[in-house]
Chains A and B, each alone.
Chain A
């Protein structure tokens, strides 16, 4: 203690309160606690961070670093942390911080896409993004392989992977009004959607990927026909005017319909990813190039005006195929002009079940036997007028028992089927025949003969004149004889009176003799006197 100054004697002494003294103050507990809490928070923050992923996309329109979320089924599973251009400036690379425990989502076939408001036909999606801004959607893959760098889809998938159903592929030469999300109809019931479409590499066809929801996917079997149900389909064909529509909605936005041809066979449902043909309309769908299209050639000599590719081939009125090509050819040696018409036939339409192959039977053999038998029985192809209004003609196969015998040469490609002239041509030929026969008639001689006959006739007529004159006088004489005042008539009259009287006397005699038969012997008795 410092030394005290005597001049301050009145200063009171403080009370003595004993106190424990620690060298290290307990206050140090506070920064330690603060450090522990801070460290704990830091550790939990680090622990709560999930994996980082990169997503490459074409455009980051509407996306914002630090704001844009990654949503899965409406749950926020990550945030876009940075948006950068790729080194070649062609793409945008997003870095996203995923929520913890999302590692299982980030597999090889997980798909990301930007959800923006989309209005396409009947589908309005992502309207929420008008307010919230675009976000990134996820479809979680099923692969087991981890992946951290993804490429975003340009078009969001219409169907999320967990909806039961099946995908099918449709081949079509024309997309029409089909777009992603275009409805698929089965008996006018919407059962699916178009998932995507792409042009084939060769550029000839488009492949449309469609999704048919369960349980309707079971109605798609290998014999199912798909067709464009877009808008109103008005067609004027050999069968007349046809108007086909599906529903009002499909008139507006287009659609695809499918139906299975009525069949007594129950086919198993089609496999996932089966490829079908998308026909232009319902009629075409049920008159399709058959499954085993068999190509034949018909050579017609007559005009094929009105015959177009697609014209039906009918067997006694049953459509069994169609015309695929019409061209012209000329034989330079003979200058014979002919029109080879290529047709495709589906013999199964004839009721021959070629599809259900019993084991060991060669389809081709059966087919050849069938065609051979038909040709042998006089089946010939003929061009017929289908519609007088449009002049459309079609190919008819029919029995012509009188046709010249023909055989099918199976070594050709395509195989030629025998033809017979069309109805017009047949008529023409008949008329020609008549004319030819008429040509052979010797009109000159006939004329001369006729002239002679006429001269003879003249003479005969003169002779007849004389005969007629004498006949006239004979008739005149006859008339004189038959006139009422003529002598002969009066004489006849008086003679008849005499005869009458004689008859009366004879009757009186007869009466008397009846009563008096004895008078024959005795003569008249006296009483008469």
Chain B
């Protein structure tokens, strides 16, 4: 049983339950003036849009160089993956793994996870609902940390400006990488986790056989 099934809207900010004005489905929270909706507006569409945008940007983010190092030996442009390879050494491998996990695995995992959540929710799957909501929370939590990579790059570029000897400049890949992070965060934001439960509630309403686990 959900609030929506009862014809009630819950406020996302203060949690107040309210009844929509007669003849209308949407309105504002009478307590905190937050916009109210039974579910987030066109959540599936927007999440898909952001997710696809993130996936599109993910390709140039990995193909284009993120960092251009100019030394006396000449200019070197490195992509993220080249950076991982460059850092891979008997002593530097932990750093290499951090970069690999934070910059390559997490963004791709986020995209895959969100796509899984969207597909299962849209298909009205009721299996593993608990796991899926945990997955969603993890994606939401971890999303912002991917920006660490962007910050590190920009800081490095700002700090290492020893003009005649060495200078570091951000490459075009960095912009796409930041876009991937931003778009996945927006996708997570626009996904309404309540959608996971809706199909379950429908079935509950139909058959009273619901697994909340």
Which single member of A3, A27, A34 contacts B190 (CB below 8 Å)? A27
Closest B residue to A39 by beta carbon equals: B56
Q: Among the listed B30, B49, B172, which residue makes an inter-chain contact with A14, where contact means beta carbons less than 8 Å apart?
A: B30
Indicate whether B39 reaches chain A with its CB closer than 8 angstroms.
Answer: no
Decide: A14 and B9 in contact? CB cutoff 8 A.
yes
- Cα-based distance from A34 to B29 in the complex (angstroms): 35
Residues 63-84 of B contacting A (Cβ, < 8 Å): 64, 72-76
Provide the A12-32 mask, 1 if CB < 8 A to any CB of B, else 0.
111111010000110111110
Mask for B28-64, Cβ within 8 A of A = 1, else 0?
1110000010000110011001101110110110001
Q: Is A327 an interface residue (CB 8 A)?
A: no
Interface residue from A1, A19, A24, A131 paired with B26 (Cβ < 8 Å): A19
By the criterion CB–CB under 8 Å, are A42 and B6 in contact? Answer: no
Most-contacted residue by chain B among A17, A24, A31, A67 (CB, 10 A): A31
**Which of B12-20, B94-102, B148-156 lies at the interface?**
B12-20
Chain B hits for A135, CB < 8 A? 74
Q: A5-B6, A14-B30, A41-B172 given as contacts; is B72 within 8 A of A28 (CB)?
A: no
Q: Is the CB of A33 within 8 A of B21?
A: no
Central interface residue in B46, B49, B72, B172, by most chain A CB within 10 Å:
B49
Residues of A within 8 A of B29 (CB): 14
Say whether B7 faces chain A, with CB atoms less than 8 Å apart: yes
Chain A residues with CB under 8 Å of B57's CB are: 34, 38
A76 interface residue, CB < 8 Å from B? yes
A15 touches B30 (CB 8 A): yes
B52 neighbours in A (Cβ, 8 Å): 31, 34
A413 is an interface residue with CB less than 8 A from chain B = no
Query: Bound complex: CA of A429 vs CA of B36, how far in Å?
Result: 144
Would you call B176 an interface residue if the criterion is a C-beta within 8 Å of the partner chain's C-beta atoms? yes
How distant is B35 from chain A, measured CB to nearest CB, in Å?
A: 8
B27, CB-defined interface residue at 8 Å: yes
Residue-wise, chain A 312-326 has the 8 Å CB interface mask toward B (1 for contact) of 000000000000000
The answer to the question of A228 belonging to the interface, with a C-beta cut-off of 8 Å to chain B, is no
B72 and A15 contacting across the interface, CB-CB below 8 Å: no
Most buried by A among B26, B64, B75: B26
Q: How many residues of A contact B (CB 8 A)?
A: 35
**Inter-chain contact B45/A28, CB cutoff 8 Å:** yes
Tell me if A27 and B45 are in contact (CB < 8 A): yes
Question: In the bound complex, do residue B20 and residue A25 qualify as a contact, i.e. CB atoms below 8 Å apart?
Answer: no
Q: Are B64 and A41 in contact (CB under 8 A)?
A: yes
* Residue pair A14, B50 in contact (C-beta under 8 Å): no
The answer on a CB contact under 8 Å between B45 and A13 is no
Q: Are B5 and A13 interface neighbours, CB within 8 A?
A: no
Does B183 make an interface contact (CB < 8 A)? yes
- Is the beta-carbon distance between B50 and A31 smaller than 8 angstroms? yes
Residue of A nearest to B75 (CB): A76
A31 touches B19 (CB 8 A): no
Q: Are B26 and A17 in contact (CB under 8 A)?
A: yes
CB-contact partner of B18 in A3, A14, A133, under 8 A: A14
Bound CA span A344–B46, Å: 102
Min distance, Cβ B66 to any Cβ of chain A, angstroms:
13
A13-B74 contact in complex given A25-B45, A34-B183, C-beta closer than 8 Å: no
A366 within 8 A of B: no
- Measured CA separation A12–B20 after assembly (Å): 8
Partner of B53, one of A1, A33, A69: A33
Instruction: Please give, as numbers and ranges, the residues of chain A lying within 8 Å of B26 by CB-CB distance.
Output: 14, 17, 19
A4 lies within 8 A of B7 (CB) = yes
**B49 A132 Cβ-Cβ under 8 A:** no
When distances are taken between beta carbons in the complex, the residues of chain A under 8 Å from B19 are: 4, 8, 11-14
B206 interfacial by beta-carbon distance below 8 Å: no
Identify which of B18, B28, B42, B64 contacts A25 (C-beta below 8 A).
B42
Asked whether, in the complex, the Cβ of A25 is within 8 Å of the Cβ of B27, the reply is: no
Give the interface centre of A15, A42, A67, A133 by most chain B CB atoms within 10 Å. Answer: A15
Q: Is A2 an interface residue when CB atoms closer than 8 A count as contact?
A: yes
B181 within 8 A of A: no
In angstroms, Cα B9 to Cα A13, docked, is 10
A42 & B60 in contact (Cβ 8 Å cutoff): yes
Q: Within the assembled complex, what's the spacing in Å between the Cα atoms of A17 and B46?
A: 22
A69 B74 Cβ-Cβ under 8 A: yes
Q: Judge whether A13 and B56 touch: CB under 8 Å.
A: no
The chain A residue sitting closest to B23, CB to CB, is: A16
Residue A35 CB within 8 A of the other chain: yes
Residues facing B in A446-492 (CB within 8 A) are none
Whole-angstrom distance between the Cβ of A448 and the nearest chain B Cβ: 115
Once the chains bind, are B24 and A16 in contact (CB under 8 Å)?
yes
A356 to chain B, nearest CB (A): 61
Cβ–Cβ < 8 Å partners of B172 in chain A: 41
Within 8 A of B (CB), among A253-282: none
| Contacting pair B46 A27 (CB below 8 A) | yes
CB closest residue in chain A, given B57: A34
How far apart are the CA atoms of A33 and B29 in the complex, in Å?
34
Known: A11-B17, A13-B20, A14-B18. 6 other contacts (CB 8 A): A13-B19, A27-B50, A38-B56, A42-B60, A131-B72, A133-B74
10 A-B pairs with the lowest CB-CB distances in the bound complex, closest first:
A14-B27, A31-B53, A31-B52, A34-B53, A2-B7, A27-B49, A16-B21, A27-B46, A34-B56, A11-B19
Complex A-B: 22 CB contacts under 8 Å = A1-B25, A4-B19, A5-B6, A11-B8, A11-B17, A12-B18, A13-B21, A14-B18, A14-B29, A15-B21, A15-B28, A16-B27, A25-B46, A27-B45, A27-B46, A35-B53, A35-B56, A38-B176, A41-B60, A41-B64, A42-B60, A132-B73
